[in-house]
C-alpha cells in the first residue's frame, strides 16, 4: 500500500511508539477495500444474500440496460410521423450552388446534432444515478466522509466524460463498424417501392417500409425535386444512428467499469488517508473517538481500581496494627 506508506512517513507518524497508528490505517484500508472489491467487482454478496440492493454488479447491469432501452425508445418516436419532412426542411436550408444529386454534409450533421441533443439527458442522468447508488453501497460509518468525497469527484468526472462523448458525436459522423453499410443497404432496398408510389398517383400512399413499419407518404408528392435526397439522407442517418447508440452505451459501460475499479483499487485508499491525516485532523479525531458505551465502562473500571487501591491501603494499615498488638 504505497500511498499509505507515503502518507504515514510524510507526516512522521511512524516515529518511536507510533506503529500502532500504521497498523490501524492498514487494517482500516484493507477492510474497506476488501469489502468494496467483493461487492462492486466480484459479484460476491455472501453477507447480503437476500438484499438485492447489495448485489452491485447485477444492479449496475440492470441500470445500464434500462438506459439503453430508454435511448432506443426515444429515437423511435419520430420515425413515421411526417415522414421525411424534417429532412426536406434541412435540405432546403442547406441548399447552395453546387453539383446536382449531391448530398450536403452540413445537412447530415444538422440532423445528427438534433438527434444527439434529444438524447443527451438520459446518459448524464444514468451516470449520476449510478454513483448515487454506489455511494449507498460502499459508505460505511468509519469511512463515510472519505467515501462521499471520492464518489462526488468520480460522479463529476463521469458526467464530464459522457458530455464529452456526446459532444464528439455532434462534430463528425464516423464509424469503422461494417454494420453501418449493412443496415444502410437494407434500408435503401425500400427505395424502389417508394419511387413506385411517388411516380404513380393511383397507388396507395400507405407504405410498409422495412425498419419503419407503415408510413404515410402522400404529402411527399408535393416535393418532387428534393424528396429523393430526403429519402437517401433519412436512410443514412437511420443506419448511423443505431451505431451512435451502440457506441454511447458501450463507452458508458467501459467508463463505468474502469471508474469503479479505480475507486476500489486506489482512490478510496488514498482518500481515507487524506481524510484521517488532513490539515485539521478531523478524520483522525473521528477514528480515535471513543464510543459513549466505552467511556461509561472506562469510568466504572477506574472507580473499581480506585476502590481496590483504597481497600489495599486499609488492609495494609489493619495488618500493621495487628502486628503491633501481637508484639
Q: How confident is the model at residue 276 (pLDDT cuts 50, 70, 90)?
A: low
pLDDT attached to residue 7: 43
d(CA 269, CA 262): 10
From its phi and psi, is residue 273 left (phi > 0), alpha (psi between -120 and 50) or beta?
alpha
Q: Which residue has the higher pLDDT, 245 or 287?
A: 245
pLDDT attached to residue 77: 57
Can you name the residues that pair with 213 across neighbouring β-strands? 209
User: Other C-beta atoms within 10 Å of 252: how many?
Assistant: 22
- Sign of the Cα pseudo-torsion (41, 45, 51, 52, in order): positive
The single residue listed with the C-alpha cell 469511512 is 143
> pLDDT tens digits, residue range 92-144?
998 877 777 788 889 999 999 999 999 999 999 999 999 998 888 776 545 66
Residue 156 phi, psi dihedral angles, 5° rounding: -65, -40
pLDDT attached to residue 218: 92
Cβ within 8 Å of residue 284, ≥6 positions away? 276, 277
d(CA 12, CA 16): 10
CB 87 within 8 A of CB 114: no
Pairing, β 206-209 against β 213-216: antiparallel
pLDDT attached to residue 2: 44
284 to each of 18, 23, 136, 290, how far by Cα in Å? Answer: 14, 14, 23, 12
pLDDT attached to residue 266: 66
Q: Which residue has the higher pLDDT, 110 or 279?
A: 110
> pLDDT tens digits, residue range 56-86?
788 888 999 999 999 988 776 566 678 999 9
pLDDT at 187 over 50: yes
Q: So where are the chain's domains?
A: 2-82+104-178+242-288, 291-327
Cβ within 8 Å of residue 203, ≥6 positions away? 196, 197
Q: Which residue has the higher pLDDT, 134 or 6?
A: 134
Highest-confidence segment of 67-71, 134-138, 145-149, 301-305: 67-71
The answer to which of 50-59, 165-174, 267-276 has the lowest mean pLDDT is 267-276
CB 272 within 8 A of CB 29: yes
pLDDT attached to residue 72: 87
pTM: 0.71
CB 40 within 8 A of CB 263: yes
Q: In CATH, what number does 2-82+104-178+242-288 get?
A: 1.20.120
Q: How confident is the model at residue 290 (pLDDT cuts 50, 70, 90)?
A: low
pLDDT attached to residue 24: 47
Amino acid at each position: 500500500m504505497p500511498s499509505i506508506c507515503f502518507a504515514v512517513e510524510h507526516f512522521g507518524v511512524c516515529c518511536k511508539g507510533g506503529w500502532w497508528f500504521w497498523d490501524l490505517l492498514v487494517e482500516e484500508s484493507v477492510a474497506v477495500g476488501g469489502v468494496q472489491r467483493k461487492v462492486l467487482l466480484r459479484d460476491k454478496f455472501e453477507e447480503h444474500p437476500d438484499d438485492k440492493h447489495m448485489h452491485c454488479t447485477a444492479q449496475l447491469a440492470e441500470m445500464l440496460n434500462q438506459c439503453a432501452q430508454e435511448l432506443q425508445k426515444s429515437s423511435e418516436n419520430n420515425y413515421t410521423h411526417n415522414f421525411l419532412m424534417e429532412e426536406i426542411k434541412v435540405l432546403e436550408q442547406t441548399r447552395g450552388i453546387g453539383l446536382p444529386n449531391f448530398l450536403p454534409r452540413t445537412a447530415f450533421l444538422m440532423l445528427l446534432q438534433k438527434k444527439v441533443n434529444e438524447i443527451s439527458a438520459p446518459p448524464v442522468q444514468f451516470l449520476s444515478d449510478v454513483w448515487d447508488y454506489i455511494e449507498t453501497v460502499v459508505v460505511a460509518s468509519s469511512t463515510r466522509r472519505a467515501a462521499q468525497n471520492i464518489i462526488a469527484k468520480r460522479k463529476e468526472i463521469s458526467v464530464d466524460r459522457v458530455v464529452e462523448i456526446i459532444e464528439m458525436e455532434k462534430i463528425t459522423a464516423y464509424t469503422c463498424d461494417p454494420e453501418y453499410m449493412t443496415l444502410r443497404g437494407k434500408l435503401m432496398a425500400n427505395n424502389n417501392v417508394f419511387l413506385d408510389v411517388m411516380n404513380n398517383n393511383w397507388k396507395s400512399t400507405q407504405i410498409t417500409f422495412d425498419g419503419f413499419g407503415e408510413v404515410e407518404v402522400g404529402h411527399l408528392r408535393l416535393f418532387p425535386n428534393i424528396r429523393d435526397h430526403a429519402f437517401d439522407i433519412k436512410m443514412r442517418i437511420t443506419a448511423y444512428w443505431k451505431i451512435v447508440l451502440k457506441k454511447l452505451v458501450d463507452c458508458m459501460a467501459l467508463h463505468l467499469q474502469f471508474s469503479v475499479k479505480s475507486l476500489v483499487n486506489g482512490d478510496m485508499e488514498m482518500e481515507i488517508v487524506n481524510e484521517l491525516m488532513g490539515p485539521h485532523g478531523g478524520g483522525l479525531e473521528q477514528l480515535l473517538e471513543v464510543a459513549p458505551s466505552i467511556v461509561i465502562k472506562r469510568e466504572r473500571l477506574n472507580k473499581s481500581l480506585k476502590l481496590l487501591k483504597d481497600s489495599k491501603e486499609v488492609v495494609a494499615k489493619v495488618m500493621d496494627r495487628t502486628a503491633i498488638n501481637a508484639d
